């Protein structure tokens, strides 16, 4: 039996919302970091869509990985062309299995995506951070989206700029659009 991508996306979203409600007793998370974007589907190429999201301090010091796709987390990191910028900042082979499991998730479906992280549970202390979202297209082509966000008593919001590694893919264009990172302290 074939299921449409739309049906599977709706089912995944429903399960995610139910799990979030169960984990938070129906109350919205306090001190949460929300990362939303639109993940583009291409007709000319078939990207891998492998991605990672991490934070750094303003001085460039690595702070924390928030999200890594399953394939990348459990062995894809051995392929240096996949999310190469992230790989330069962390030696994933040295990360504990607990941390690996805590940040690993399924590759997002194309379309609108929102990932939510509990800043308290992720042990993200107050401060200024640079955020990075790196997405692998194919071969050695990656796109790195970045901006800055303030984790404080106040809500904050930021958009991202893109850098192409090693350059813009000739057939792809930006794989992400409408990238917004919000810190919500309710």
pLDDT at 51 over 60: yes
Query: 84 and 142 share a domain?
Result: yes
Q: Number of structural domains, the chain?
A: 2
pLDDT at 183 over 70: yes
Query: 70 and 150 share a domain?
Result: yes
pLDDT band, residue 44 (cuts 50/70/90) = confident
Q: Quick check: 144 and 163 in contact, CB under 8 A?
A: yes
Summarised one tens digit per residue, pLDDT across range 83-93 is: 999 999 999 99
Query: 22 and 72 share a domain?
Result: no
Query: 143 and 85 share a domain?
Result: yes
Query: 58 and 1 share a domain?
Result: no
Find the range with the poorest average confidence among 3-12, 78-87, 172-181. 3-12
- Average pLDDT of the chain? 87
Token pair of 32 as six digits: 């949460």
Query: 60 and 110 share a domain?
Result: yes
Could you tell me the CA-to-CA distances from 3 to 7, 8, 123 in Å, in that order? 6, 7, 39
Query: 180 and 121 share a domain?
Result: yes
Summarised one tens digit per residue, pLDDT across range 97-109 is: 998 999 999 999 9
Rounded to an integer, what is the distance from CA 175 to the centroid of its chain?
Answer: 13
pTM tops 0.95, yes or no: no
Share of residues in the chain with pLDDT > 90 (%): 76
Summarised one tens digit per residue, pLDDT across range 112-139 is: 999 999 998 898 999 999 999 999 999 9
By residue range, what is the domain housing residue 75? Answer: 31-184
pLDDT at 23: 44
Q: Quick check: 159 and 179 in contact, CB under 8 A?
A: yes
Element counts in the chain: helices (H) and strands (E): 4, 10
Q: Quick check: 136 and 51 in contact, CB under 8 A?
A: yes
Query: 58 and 140 share a domain?
Result: yes
Residue 151 CB partners (closer than 8 Å, separation 6+):
31, 33, 119, 124, 125, 126, 127, 128, 129, 183
pLDDT at 30: 79
Query: 36 and 7 share a domain?
Result: no
The half-sphere exposure of 145 on its side-chain side, counting CA atoms within 13 A, is 23
């Amino acid at each position: 039996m074939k299921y449409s991508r739309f049906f599977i996306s709706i089912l995944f979203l429903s399960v995610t919302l139910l799990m979030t409600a169960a984990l938070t007793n129906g109350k919205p998370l306090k001190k949460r970091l929300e990362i939303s974007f639109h993940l583009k589907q291409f007709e000319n190429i078939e990207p891998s869509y492998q991605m990672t999201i991490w934070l750094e301090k303003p001085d460039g010091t690595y702070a924390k990985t928030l999200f890594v796709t399953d394939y990348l987390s459990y062995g894809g990191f051995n392929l240096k062309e996949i999310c190469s910028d992230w790989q330069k900042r962390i030696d994933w082979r040295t990360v504990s299995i607990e941390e690996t499991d805590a940040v690993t998730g399924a590759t997002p479906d194309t379309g609108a995506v929102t990932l939510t992280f509990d800043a308290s549970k992720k042990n993200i202390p107050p401060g200024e951070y640079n955020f990075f979202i790196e997405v692998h297209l194919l071969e050695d082509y990656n796109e790195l989206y970045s901006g800055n966000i303030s984790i404080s008593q106040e809500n904050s919001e930021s958009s991202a700029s893109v850098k192409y590694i090693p350059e813009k893919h000739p057939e792809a264009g930006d794989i992400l659009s409408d990238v917004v990172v919000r810190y919500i302290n309710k």
